[in-house]
Structure formats: structure tokens, C-alpha cells
Amino acid sequence: MKKSRLLIVGAGGHGRSVAEAVLISGDFDLVGFLDDGAFARGGNVLGLPVLGPARTFTDYAALASHAVVAIGNNALRKTFCAQLQAAGFALASVIHPRAIVSPRAQLGEGVAIMAGAIVGTEAVLGQGVIVNSGAVVDHHAQVHDFGHLGVNACMAGGTVVGALAWVQAGAAIGYGVQLAAGTVLKPGEAVWD
């Protein structure tokens, strides 16, 4: 069966981690990266070409049918996802094979779930969500569009992270807590009712 061809927007640390997840899983044929800075420096990343800057996505439509935005900045990820869709790309979700995702979880388009992450039963992830390495989204928890859980962040059952919110490394959200859109929790910070 022929695999869909994939471009990764962003060749920084998160982009490389997403690329590694793609290569390990074998779910896509990874074509390369789009990244302004990496393209200006030339060369390749992880043995894959940096094909051009992250703009005018229609220029790359013949190379791949799918793309994933692997950039931690929530607002920029949202902007690029909209531009890619307008250029005709399908947003790919990348799930590291060492992540645990309930078959009853609902995942939006363009989600990245990294190694060691856990997404529990009936959890809901919106479009463009990042669940980083070791992060936990427990049962019935929700992460709205373009939310971001850092490494080892933890959402207890029934919690809600609003759109564009960022739960940084090691932060924890107690049962039933709802974070407003755009909220940023500092590393190690905990919130509870």
C-alpha cells in the first residue's frame, strides 16, 4: 500500500522529534522540512532536505498531500495550519509508536503525540494540539484547538485546557479544573479547585 507523502513545517527541536516519530512509525513517506532559518543555512536535517521556507505553501503542493506543523508556538502553529489547508494540504496527525492513546479518545487534525505520552479514554484533543513526551491527558479531559502540553505536564480527569493555552513542562491541572484560552502555566505550576 502506498503511503501518503508528508512535509513537516518546522525543523527545530520539535520538528526533529516529530520527524523521528514519523520515521519510526512508518505511517508516512517523509519528504522533508519547510523552515525559514534552516533553509537559509542550507543542507538537511536528519538526512532529509530542507526544501524551502515556511511560506507560500502552494509552491510545495506537488511534493506532498499531507503536512504537519511541528512548531511549539501555538499562534504560529494555528496560522500555518490554516495556510496549509488553504493551499490544499491535509493536516496529518503524528503519534509516536511509544505513546499510549485510548481507542476511545477523539483526535483533531494535525495533532502531535510524542513518546511516552498518554491520552486516556474519551479524552478530546482539538486541531493542532501537542501532547509532548511523558505528558498525560487523563480520561474525559479536553485540550482545545492549538493547546500545548509540555514534557511531563499532567491533566487529571475531566480537566479542560482552552484554545492556544500552554501547560509547560511538569505543570499539573487538578480534577475538573478549566484553564481559559491562552493561559500559560509555568513549569512545575499546579492549579486545582
Question: Among all residues, which ones are annotated catalytic?
Answer: 139
Chain centre to alpha carbon of residue 165: 13
- The residues, any chain, with a CB within 8 Å of residue 8's CB and separated by 6 or more, are 15, 18, 19, 22, 30, 32, 33, 34, 67, 68, 70
Amino acid at 63: L
Q: How many CB atoms lie within 10 A of CB 26?
A: 10
Give yes or no for a contact between 178 and 159, defined as CB atoms under 8 angstroms apart. yes
Buried b (16+ CB within 10 A) or exposed e, 134-168: bbbbbbbbbbbbbbbbbebbbbbbbbbbbbbbbbb
d(CA 191, CA 165): 14
Question: What does the DSSP 8-state code read for residue 59?
Answer: G
